[in-house]
Amino acid sequence: MPTVLIIDDERDMRNLVKVMLSKSNMDTISVDSGIDAYLEILKGGIDLVLLDIMMPGEDGFTVCQNIRNISNVPIIFLTARDANEDKVKGLTIGGDDYLVKPFTVSELVARINAVLRRTTMTNDSQQPHHNYLQCGKVKVDEVSRKVYVNNATIPLTLKEFEILHLFMKNPDIVYSREQLLEKIWDIDYAGGTRTVDTHIKTLRLKLAKESKEASEYIQTVWGVGYRFEKCL
């Protein structure tokens, strides 16, 4: 049974979401600020975060960035703000999905299940050996979902990992931005292809911190999209 952390300064909204998720056999913990959220996440046991944007003090964008400094727990923004710029920003800074209020129980649960499905790791007892993909200086552990460059761990968000994993499993295949949106953001997403470029840029920067060569494996095919250089 997954445990969902609800971060929203409005008590009525927190209670509404708790009722929605309890009917779908999900445990919930609710807090009204980023400070309390960080403490809950550091305790462990949180499978997913539902995060409001418009909160006093630290807004949801700031809270998301701070969470990313301590955890890769999946984050879904729940907000009344439906501007395209907000959606792009939320997904760029580490959010995994973006749901605009008001929403139905079925839509909320579907979004949560989709994100959890992508983050569920193979049970170690069923698969005791690690499965690695490696190209040059980059190594991906498909079981633990960890990425290494020169044996240093590279902290990636869910979407960054999914992009890199897709590229490394299919080297030399050119993916358009639209194809990447369809494969990585598997629920209808209206944020546009700009978010793909931003995620690629951030992924390259993270790889480049350990190796400039590793960052250059992801190549831009001008006018088409991106591909991952095949290792010989």
> 0.95 cut: is pTM over it?
no
What CATH number has the domain bearing residue 59?
3.40.50.2300
**Does the residue 193 lie in any domain?**
yes
Structure-block tokens of residue 32: 């009204």
Residue 112 sits in the same domain as residue 213: no
The predicted structure's pLDDT at residue 88: 81
- Residue 42 has a CB neighbour count (10 Å cut-off) of 10
**Cα–Cα dist 207/60, whole Å:** 27
**Does the residue 124 lie in any domain?**
no
Residue 145 sits in the same domain as residue 215: yes
Phi-psi region of 182 (alpha: psi -120 to 50; beta: other; left: phi over 0): alpha
Residue 99 sits in the same domain as residue 195: no
Residue 136 sits in the same domain as residue 109: no
**Does the residue 127 lie in any domain?**
no
What CATH number has the domain bearing residue 168?
1.10.10.10
The predicted structure's pLDDT at residue 125: 38
User: What range defines the domain where residue 55 resides?
Assistant: 3-119
The predicted structure's pLDDT at residue 4: 95
Residue 215 sits in the same domain as residue 162: yes
Structure-block tokens of residue 93: 């800074």
- Among the listed residues 163, 164, 197, the one whose alpha carbon sits nearest the alpha carbon of residue 183: 163
- Residue 164 has a CB neighbour count (10 Å cut-off) of 25
Domain count across the chain: 2
Q: Who contacts 94 (Cβ-Cβ below 8 Å, separation ≥6)?
A: 64, 65, 67, 68, 75, 157
The predicted structure's pLDDT at residue 124: 41
Per-residue pLDDT of the chain (232 residues; tens, 9 = 90+): 889 999 999 999 999 999 999 888 899 999 999 999 999 999 888 999 999 998 888 999 999 999 988 888 899 998 887 777 788 888 888 888 888 888 888 999 999 998 888 776 433 434 445 578 888 899 998 877 889 998 898 888 888 899 999 999 998 899 999 889 888 876 555 556 788 888 899 899 999 999 999 999 999 999 899 999 877 5
Residue 45 sits in the same domain as residue 147: no
Residue in the block written with tokens 């919930």: 28
Residue 96 sits in the same domain as residue 15: yes
Residue 141 sits in the same domain as residue 115: no
